[in-house]
Amino acid sequence: MTQLPSSTDRKMGLVIDLDTCVGCHACVISCKGWNTENYGAPLSDQDAYGANPSGTFLNRVHSYEVQPAEGHAQLIHFPKSCLHCEDAPCVTVCPTGASYKRVEDGIVLVNESDCIGCGLCAWSCPYGARELDQAEGVMKKCTLCVDRIYNENLPEVDRVPSCVRTCPAGARHFGDLGDPDSDVSKLVAERGGMDLMPEMGTKPVNKYLPPRPKDNVEDQIDILAPLLAPVAEEPKGFLGWLDKTLEKL
């Protein structure tokens, strides 16, 4: 079971647009909401309303500042979840066969009834995509909403991962990255989609679209700028006298 398939029929995955993400964390909330009450054990929280809350999440949004050699710094919001790697190290390290990659669509899943909660798969993942649920003692990870994408009880528009359905900015895309003619593959080709930590040799399926170059801000912000200069002339007459008198006091 923990041998990786030599190839998968499809490579279902996400394309995340770092240019469009506004960092609202809606995908984090919808992911937790859907996945805590569907596939597998719930995503538990510890001390949720106390002083030191902590919980299991399958998707988290970081924010980074990039400072180029010249010009202004840029803030980039950075959602991160399982990348459903082709060479997933989390699958081969599993001693029980609980962790596996599906041949039909390449989704990496955990069979929770076989998981002994040793944590080795989380150790082997460079992306922090796996979290051991503290209440259940089993490993939780993104399922690519495997219980939504093929679910014929849902309207067709909802048959995408919860995070993709929710994103208000349209920064998340879902599709078959193994098919060069799919919309997501075209998007990756057009925008120069990239892998995270390619040197780890994990061959992630999920791709990230880099932020587009920003306009150069010249010294002159606007042709109207000179007209916006503050107008402060020396006061004359009574106000001038008052100003001088108050100054002397």
Partner 1 sequence: MHPAPSVIIFTTLSGLGFGLLLFLGLGLPDVSGWIAFVFFAIAYALSVGGLMASTFHLGHPERAWKAFTQWKTSWLSREGWCAVIALIVMGLYAIGVIFLGQRWSLLGWIGALFSLLTVFTTSMIYTQLKTIPRWNMKLTPAMFLSFSLAGGALLAGQVRVALPLLLIAALVQILYWKKGDKALEESGTNLGTATGLGDRGAVRAFEPPHTGTNYLLREFVHVVGRKHAEKLRIISFVLAFVLPVILLLLPFGHFFALLAVASHLAGVATSRWLFFAQAEHVVGLYYGKR
Q: Which residues bind partner 1 (CB under 8 A)?
A: 1-3, 18, 23, 25, 28, 52-57, 60-69, 73-76, 78, 80, 89, 92-98, 114-120, 122-128, 131-134, 136-139, 194-201, 208, 210-211
Phi/psi region, residue 134 (left: phi>0; alpha: psi -120 to 50; beta: rest), is alpha
Contact 47, 61 (CB under 8 A): no
With respect to partner 1, which residue has the nearer C-beta, 65 or 215? Answer: 65
With respect to partner 1, which residue has the nearer C-beta, 109 or 149? Answer: 109
Nearest approach, Cβ of residue 194 and partner 1 (Å): 4
Torsion, Cα of 87, 92, 96, 99 (10° steps): -10
Q: Residue with structure tokens 């202004």?
A: 72
Nearest approach, Cβ of residue 124 and partner 1 (Å): 6
Nearest approach, Cβ of residue 240 and partner 1 (Å): 50
Amino acid sitting at position 112? E
Q: Is 196 exposed, middle or buried (0-12, 13-18, 19+ CB in 10 A)?
A: middle
Q: Which helix (H) or strand (E) holds 79?
A: strand 74-81
Q: Give the CA count within 13 Å in the CB-facing half-sphere of 66.
A: 13
Nearest approach, Cβ of residue 110 and partner 1 (Å): 12
Nearest approach, Cβ of residue 213 and partner 1 (Å): 9
With respect to partner 1, which residue has the nearer C-beta, 126 or 154? Answer: 126
With respect to partner 1, which residue has the nearer C-beta, 83 or 164? Answer: 83
With respect to partner 1, which residue has the nearer C-beta, 56 or 143? Answer: 56
Contact 172, 27 (CB under 8 A): yes
With respect to partner 1, which residue has the nearer C-beta, 94 or 107? Answer: 94
Nearest approach, Cβ of residue 89 and partner 1 (Å): 7
Distance (Å, whole) CA 106 – CA 9: 8
Q: In what order do the strands lie in the sheet with 12-17?
A: 172-176, 12-17, 207-209
Nearest approach, Cβ of residue 228 and partner 1 (Å): 31
C-alpha 130, offset from chain centre? 14
With respect to partner 1, which residue has the nearer C-beta, 71 or 235? Answer: 71
